[in-house]
A = this chain, B = another copy of it.
Amino acid sequence: MLELTEGQYNLVYNSFSFVIAAMGAATVFFLLIRNRVAPRHRLAVTLTTLVTGIALYHYVRIFGSWESAFSFGDGVYTQDGQPFNEGYRYVDWLLTVPLLLAELVIVLKLAAGTTRSLLIRLSVASIAMIVLGYPGEIADPDSASRWVWWIAGMIPFLYILYVLFGELGRSLDRQGQTVKRLVDYLRYVLVVTWSVYPLAYLAPQFIDDAATAEVLRQVGYSVADVLAKPLFGLLVVVIALSKSRDEGYITAIDGSHAAEDTTLAEANANA
C-alpha cells in the first residue's frame, strides 16, 4: 500500500489544484477573446475553449479521486481508500488531443482536401496513441507489458510528429511570415511538452521508490497538460489574431475591429 509523506501528497494535490485554476482561467480567457478574432478563425478558438473546458472538468474529478484514495494518519498519507482512477486522464486525452490537433490544422486554413486528410489522420493516430497507452498505464509497475504498450503507443506518437513536421511544414508556404514563425514556435512547444508524457509514463520503470515515482508521474502529467492545452491554445489564438490583423479584420492603427453590426464589406469600405 502506497505511503506518501505530507510533502509528497501535497505536491500532487497542489499540482492538481494549480491545473484546475489554469484550465478555468484559460477557458474564460478564450471565451472572452473569441469575438476579437475574425469570424472565419473563430472555430479554432472555440475548439481550444472546449479543450481547456474538458480538461477543467477532468481535473476536478482527478482532484476528487486523489482525495478519496488516501487517508491521513501518523503523519503520513496512506492509499487505503477507493482506487485512484487513472482513467480520467485517458478519457480526457481521448477527447482533447484530437481537438487540439484540429485547432492547429483549422487555424492554418489550408486547402479543403488537405485539411480533411490531416484531420482524419491526426485524429486516428492520436486516438490510437491513447488507447494503446492505457493498458500499460494500469499494468503492474514491474510488468513487461508496461514497456510493450509504451512502445505500441510511441508508434502513432512518432507518426503525429512526422505529419506535423514533414507534411504540415510543406503546407506552410502560403502562410505569412509572422504566422510561419508562430507555427514553428508552436510545433516546438508541442514536441517539448508532448515528450513529458512518455517520460512521466515510465517513471515507475526507472524509479525504485514507488512514492517518488507516483509523485513524479502525477506532477509530470499535470505540468505537461498545462503546457499542451492553455499554452498551446494561447499560441493558436495569437495565430488567429495575427491572421485577423493581416486580413484587415483588426485594423493596425487603433486595434479596433470591424463592428459586429456591419458586414465586412462595409467595414472595409469605411476604413
> Interface on A for B, CB 8 Å cutoff?
6, 10, 13-14, 17-18, 20-22, 24-25, 28-29, 32-34, 36, 38-40, 42-43, 46, 49-50, 53-54, 57-58, 61, 72, 82-83, 85, 87-88, 90-92, 94-95, 247, 254-267, 270-271
State the 5 A-B residue pairs at the shortest beta-carbon distance, nearest first: A40-B255, A14-B87, A256-B264, A18-B91, A25-B50
Consensus secondary structure, chain A interface: helix
Q: List 12 A-B contacts (CB under 8 A).
A: A6-B83, A14-B88, A17-B87, A28-B49, A32-B49, A36-B39, A38-B255, A72-B83, A256-B264, A260-B261, A263-B271, A265-B271
Q: Is the CB of A54 within 8 A of B6?
A: no
Q: Which residues of B contact A6 (CB under 8 A)?
A: 83
Selected from B21, B43, B256, the residue in CB contact (under 8 A) with A95 is B21
Selected from B22, B32, B91, the residue in CB contact (under 8 A) with A46 is B32
Selected from B34, B88, B95, B259, the residue in CB contact (under 8 A) with A25 is B95
Q: What separation, in Å, do the CA atoms of A261 and B263 have in the docked complex?
A: 10
Q: Is the CB of A53 within 8 A of B28?
A: yes
Q: Tell me whether A57 and B20 are in contact in the complex, defined as CB-CB below 8 angstroms, given that A42-B36, A265-B271 are known contacts.
A: yes
Q: What separation, in Å, do the CA atoms of A179 and B262 have in the docked complex?
A: 29
Q: Is the CB of A18 within 8 A of B94?
A: yes
Closest-CB distance, A85 to chain B (whole angstroms): 6
